[in-house]
Structure 1
């Protein structure tokens, strides 16, 4: 097997393992493997990790970000390059939207300090300043955090996590340690953030998901509407989700309009054109509820409306089509 094929197979293997571990879902996040000092192999934009093929793992030139073929590499390829250029020992990079680290990312803090030191992270993890997904600003902000970081991970505000290691196994362990440590950290802030019946969903009709998780029930009592604290909420759901009183007729009327809502005492009703998209909305709604509680505890603010609008328009135009391809 050639070096290129071996790198692609490792990326595919990592994508499936991360999906099975719940650290990434659907097409969210990206994975790469360093080939040498000039190239790396990275997942393509908008591809499902459980069905990823070799031709959907793209070889990218570090110097000019060039690549061959018609399949586009991940829009976050610059962030991966930054890791390889700044961390010479890094051989594998994982960018995730994992739940606990994403919730922490909404708090607006610059540094997260854990109670116990983590083998691959240390006792603190830096949080990179916010930038819209795929932009040079996000890459520059991430690079500044990487330059100061001593561990194998940084958190990207309102976005997710960036983890790396000398190989696939170490990068995976960094992502796992970060999620576990962030979970313990969130428990000290507000115990409502982590609920035991996470992703407690039930299908209602052909393309409606009822999410009965406790964090959404608690959210409905604490907030009047859900605002975007995370990029993927802005991209896939939009500017807000309404919280309705416990009224079946109002919830059914919203569903007929194709509107996803949260109903007090009932949970989230997630509506989309397909069942898979309704499940995605359910996952994001639940994660954004976690982020909302975390942000409130630290005076974190939601993403600006104009930034949410741009992300939503870009997603509808580009990534939604890729996800359904």
Structure 2
């Protein structure tokens, strides 16, 4: 593929992924092969909604070098590995899509339906966990990719990797992957993810917004919200859904099952009882959410867009916690890894996103 063709393909795929709800904010990345020696990839820390052609980065396949200026995605090594192993592949998409992320927690290959096998082949393999951007992640993914003819790999506790002949085919693979994973998970626990279905998330309400918007917020959520102070709480949302309510009733603490939750919401978040005075001053500095038993959740950030991102990832992690109750194979990320990712995200990656 020529460079200009690749730019058009990456931009179009990025827009489609957002429209399909398979990526949000700065999560995930897209690339297309350019000629025989390079690939064009989305940048690090740039929201898809504001992505420009001149922010895409051309990376050398051999040494991963790139021109000075905009930094490429931190997962460029993952993309390079796919292109090196699969010479016919022309596009790679890495997502944190909900159902695929949850299915990856099971740690076992997922069978593919007859209808989906034309795109995904017979099974969906799972790669063992590795921290984002590390050699371990690339090594584990490489092993899963090279061991079969699949066109997608689930990355345990992280997300999914899809690859096809071109961007159009790879988008179809990502969509079919979500369908297959949803159907497989439905046999274990009701974790439906389509809007309008039981289990889908409702629209969050802004506590820091207009007074007229606050009428639907439970008094207990308002009371606890008023006890949380700090500059980092400039935008606070109340969010409730079947998954959030069930998790709040069954858990005493919500750990990180997915590494994007550790980064964006916190290494682990508290579950507080209704009527409790246990909300600590300064809690907002250590995490960006909490669960209120039998009521819902509070999610906060510096901007509305970032607070919405916390809501989205909290919903997914609550479903992961419910999946863990149904299947003992599902384990959270280690305490050390979760805290490490939170630290790195706060010090480095979130600042890149803030400049976008």
What TM-score do you get using the length of structure 1 for normalisation? 0.93
Deviates more, 1:299-308 or 1:258-267: 258-267
The answer to whether the aligner puts 1:282 opposite 2:311 as a matched pair is yes
Instruction: Name the CA distance, whole Å, in 1 between partners of 2:274 and 2:148.
Output: 47
Task: Kindly provide the CA deviation profile for residues 245-272 of structure 1, in whole angstroms up to 9, marking residues without a partner as x.
Answer: 223x759x56985352111222111022
Conserved? CA contact 2:127–2:156, under 8 Å: yes
Task: List structure 1 runs of 4+ shifted beyond 3 angstroms.
Answer: 114-117, 192-197, 253-257
The residue number in structure 1 matching 2:327 is 298
SS of 1:291's equivalent in the other structure is helix
* Residue matched to 2:228: none
Q: How many residues are matched?
A: 321
Give a deviation string over 1:35-64, Cα, whole Å, max 9, x none. Answer: 122100000101111211112110000000
Q: Cα offset for 1:137?
A: 1.0
User: How far is 1:3 from its partner?
Assistant: 2.4
Where do residues 107-126 of structure 1 align in structure 2 (5 Å cutoff)? 107=106, 109-116=107-114, 118=116, 119-126=118-125
CA 1:177–1:79: 2 relative to 1, 3 Å: same
Shift of 1:161: 0.3
The SS at the match of 2:187 is: helix
List runs of 5+ in structure 1 lacking aligned partners.
none
Give unpaired runs (5+ residues) of structure 2: 210-234
Give the corresponding residue for 2:350: 320
Cα separation, partners in 2 of 1:245 and 1:182, compared to 1, 3 Å: same
Deviations 1:202-244 (A, max 9, x none): 1111411111111101111221111000010111122211112
Cα distance in 2 for partners of 1:274, 1:197 equals: 24
Q: Who wins on radius of gyration, i.e. which is larger?
A: 2
- Pick which of 145-154 and 253-262 moved more: 253-262
Q: Distance in 2 between matches of 1:111 and 1:276?
A: 35
CA distance in 1, matches of 2:3, 2:281: 48
- Between the aligned partners of 1:111 and 1:122, the Cα distance in structure 2 is 12
- Contact 2:126/2:156 (CA < 8 Å) preserved in 1? yes
| Residue in structure 2 matched with residue 233 of structure 1 by the alignment | 261
Structure 2 length as normaliser, TM-score? 0.86
CA RMSD of aligned residues (A): 1.9
Question: What secondary structure does 1:44 align onto?
Answer: coil
